[in-house]
Structure 1
Amino acid sequence: MERWFSRITMFWMLFLGEVQSQDWTKCSTGCTCDGNKMSVTCNGLKNVPNDIQKDAKELNLQYNKLSSLPRTAFHGLNKLTYLDLNYNELQTLPAGVFDELKNLETLWIQQNQLQTLPAGVFDQLVELDELYLNRNQLKSLPPGVFDHLTKLTYLGLRENQLQRLPDGVFDKLTNLKELYLSTNQLRSVPQGVFDSLSSLSTISLDTNHWDCKSCDILYLSQWIRENGDIVKDSSGSYTDPDGVTCQGTMESVNKITKENTFQAGCPTTTQQMATSPASTTTTETMTVREKQTKPRMKIFQEELFSKASIFFCQVIFTQHVSLVVIHILAEIPLLHIVCVVRKP
């Protein structure tokens, strides 16, 4: 009997402890709590509260004054499915800050001052469906930054300062439906960067610095021609592909072709892929690459012979050596021919 009483007592203690841990009547200072929606909303804060309900599913921290986040800001909140950090003053994110949010589906970090993203910052967000990074100051993206977000359907990167995209940055996003890249400083995109986006239904590319004088623009031009029906403006409304224009002109990117412009000297797509991941930009660059395909020893021998022949020719024609030496040198047929050709 005593044993049963002891077990019942322990059961009630554990039950009461669990109820207390989920007491939504006690909310963090500066926050309001809704136990029905399992959501917490905080305003006017400079720091993330450390006593947020552990079973919260939604955390709204927009319109605060957060300038930085500790690495452990969201640790223990592994039931969150929604996190809003919009309209704060964040300049960077600490590595590992989202590592425990394995059930997160929506992440808003718009209208902050993010300049960089740490490598792997999103790696644990394997359930993420929507990622909003619009209206920040991002100039570049770490390689592979989205590789683990295989369930992502929305990615917003518009109104940043992106100057380039890493090779293969979207390769793992086969479920992505919406991609916003408008209003950045992109001059071109890597060869094949959109080829894995098999589910894409909306993309915005307008208001960038597209460099139509570079061969690198040919991939984007052809891609827009083939996918013009999904090219839209930053609001998601349909726009004519002509809205994606070359920097400094009103010429449409989708009209730039190798055949009808000064791009006639550019390599074909097959040649580009065979040569290197990046497209060549000038005829001079192609000449250098062709030269580099020769064995180094052969190049060395050719250059050595050329310099030697010039030297001997100069000696012969300035008559700084005796006639005997000249006659001897002239007996070398190849050198004689070279000197005759080079004679002023």
Structure 2
Amino acid sequence: MIYCNVSQSYQPPESFQWCCTISLRTMKLIIGIVFTSLAFSTHAQEELCKIEKNLKICENSAGVIAHVTVENPSALNRGILEMTFDGDTTIGSKAFSDPRVRGFLLEMPYTNQRNQSALPTLTLHPDTFVESSNMYRIFIMHANVNVIGESFSPMTQLTYLRFMHCGFTDVPTKMLESTENLTELSFENNYIRVIRSQAFAPVKLLRELHLEGNGIESLELGCFDGLDHLKVLTLDQNHFSSTPGILKGLNSLVRLNIDDAFDENGFNIDILQNLPAISNIRMGFNNMTTLKPDMFSIFPQIRHLALFGNHITRIPKGVFDRARSLFVIHLARNDIGFIEPGAFSGLNVSLLNLLNNRVDKTIETDTFSGLSVDRLQLDSNNITELKAGAFNALSAQQIILSWNKLTQIDVDDFLGLDTEELDLSHNCISSIAPNAFQNSKVKKLRLKGNPLDRVDKDKWGLPASAEISML
């Protein structure tokens, strides 16, 4: 420290006074610089930064991620910033500010335990993402998500939000108030047991909603109110009652997935009332046993219908009579032992899949009459016998009858058949009767895996141009 000790009786020279003044000013400046340096030094000491996958990640002394900087554009996958954390993590306010970042994938370690307490916690501040001006998507996996204050700051640019295998036990309606422009939302494989009335009211622009794998036990009436623009709804792997009216108001819904969705009371067709735009429905693994005439008349515009993995035993006539727009029908992995002749008459479809209905059966005369199909799958069906004309008046590009229990092909088994390809591979066919194919049109015949001694097109009634494959 500098002292200027001058007696009152002594008047120092003007130059000395000036020198003293300058010295005091200099000291103040020096002290200011020192304090500023100390402040910066303390701040630097409070943050610990590391470079990881071309990202600079800085944490403060409390272990909170304070900011993340993209050191190299290669850190982004098509504009998406991907980060993986080992355990409980907190991301602080305004942690992301790089305009090149257009989305986030935040992932915790995977655990195969179906146990909410086994998940690490990801804590987010309301304004964690607020400075990410170009961000349109957030995807978080395998974490108990905790948003401080239960709501984000408004994120009007966000259109895609997905929480997969996270710890949600209820739809966070308050949080959704800050994401009003969402068009796709997913809470797949969480722990949400009840979807409450008005749960999605804040996200009126939603076009896709995924709720599969939650074990949902109740859909309250009005739970989908306000979703006038919703096109896709996925409710697979839940356990709710098929109460009529729970889908009311979804006037724009095009695709509905409800595989393995219902409680012990099973599926009720009335749940599908009032869906005027529906064209694609998946209803697999719902313990359905019966198909009734005109049961699908409530949506005549249906294009894709999947009923695989149920316990349907027979297909009567009239089931599809008022569903003439059908393009794909999946009936694989049921217990179908009988198809009433004409059950598919009048349909013009790309695929009719009857794969793996493992019930011993006979295909009766005219079973598929009046059907036009690109691909008919009857493989692995335990078919033991074909009655004469079983495929009469059928038009098909490809018929697959492989892996059945046919032992011989008799005259007129394929009477009236018109197909590009007939696949009889891996049966037990040891004989084909003379002129067996004389009254049918088959361009390619597959016979691999059958105990046939020789191939004889002429004897079997096939034209010389027909192709036969034994390989």
TM-score by length of 2: 0.41
The structural deviation recorded for 1:94 is 0.6
Instruction: Report deviation, 1:40.
Output: 2.5
For 2:186, what is the secondary structure of its paired residue?
A: strand
Aligned counterpart for 1:117 among listed residues 244, 248, 267: 267
Comparing both structures, which one devotes a greater share of its residues to strand? Answer: 2
Report the secondary structure of 2:251's partner residue: coil
1:251 aligns with 2:406: yes
Q: Secondary structure at the match of 1:218?
A: coil
CA–CA distance in structure 1, aligned partners of residues 409 and 294 of structure 2: 28
Q: Which moved more, 1:40-49 or 1:140-149?
A: 140-149
1:103 matched residue in structure 2: 252
**Matches of 2:191 and 2:408, distance apart in 1:** 45
Q: Secondary structure at 1:120's aligned position in 2?
A: helix
- The residue matched to 2:314 in structure 1 has which SS? coil
Question: Could you tell me how far 1:107 is from its partner in structure 2?
Answer: 0.3
Deviations 1:119-159 (A, max 9, x none): 43323212112101123321124543311222222111111
CA gap 1:144/1:254 in 2 versus in 1, 3 angstroms: farther
Q: Distance in 2 between matches of 1:172 and 1:252?
A: 38
Is the CA contact 2:378–2:401 (under 8 Å) kept in the aligned structure 1?
A: no
Who is 1:151 aligned against? 301
Q: What is the CA distance between 1:177 and its match in structure 2?
A: 1.1
Equivalent residue in structure 2 for 1:230, among 356, 369, 375: 375
Is 1:29 aligned to 2:172, yes or no? yes
Q: Which has the higher helix share?
A: 1
User: For 2:199, which of 51, 54, 59 is the aligned residue?
Assistant: 51
Query: Which residue identity does 1:196 align to in structure 2?
Result: G
The 1:68/1:255 distance shift into structure 2, 3 A limit, reads: farther
Residue 183 of structure 2 is matched in structure 1 by 38
Q: Distance in 1 between matches of 2:408 and 2:272?
A: 33
- Deviation for aligned residue 1:35: 5.0
Matched pairs, number: 225
SS at match of 2:209: strand
1:219 paired residue number: 366
Higher relative contact order (CA 8 A, sep 6+): 1
For residue 195 of structure 2, give the secondary structure of its aligned residue in structure 1.
Answer: coil
- How far apart are the structure 2 equivalents of 1:254 and 1:202? 25
Does 1:67 find its partner at 2:214?
A: no
Displacement after TM superposition at 1:113 (Å): 4.6
RMSD of Structure 2 on Structure 1 (CA): 3.8
Task: Please give the alpha-carbon distance, in whole angstroms, between the structure 1 residues aligned to 2:323 and 2:409.
Answer: 24
Based on CA coordinates, which of the two structures has the bigger radius of gyration?
A: 2
TM-score of the superposition, structure 1-length normalised? 0.55
- Secondary structure, aligned partner of 1:121: helix
Q: 1:174 to 1:256 in 2, by over 3 A?
A: farther
Matched residues in 2 for 1:154 and 1:119: separation? 16
Q: Is the 8 A contact 2:335 2:358 kept in 1?
A: yes
Contact 2:223 2:246 (8 Å CA) reproduced: yes
Q: Which residue in the other structure is 1:88 paired with?
A: 238
What does the per-residue CA deviation read over 1:233-274, in whole Å, with 9 as the maximum and x for residues that have no partner? 79xxx97521374xxxx12899796899xxxxxxxxxxxxxx
Contact 2:182 2:205 in 1 (8 A): no
**Closer, same or farther in 2 for the Cα pair 1:74/1:81, shift >3 Å?**
same
Is the Cα contact below 8 Å between 1:153 and 1:177 reproduced in 2?
A: yes
* Aligned counterpart for 1:203 among listed residues 327, 331, 352: 352
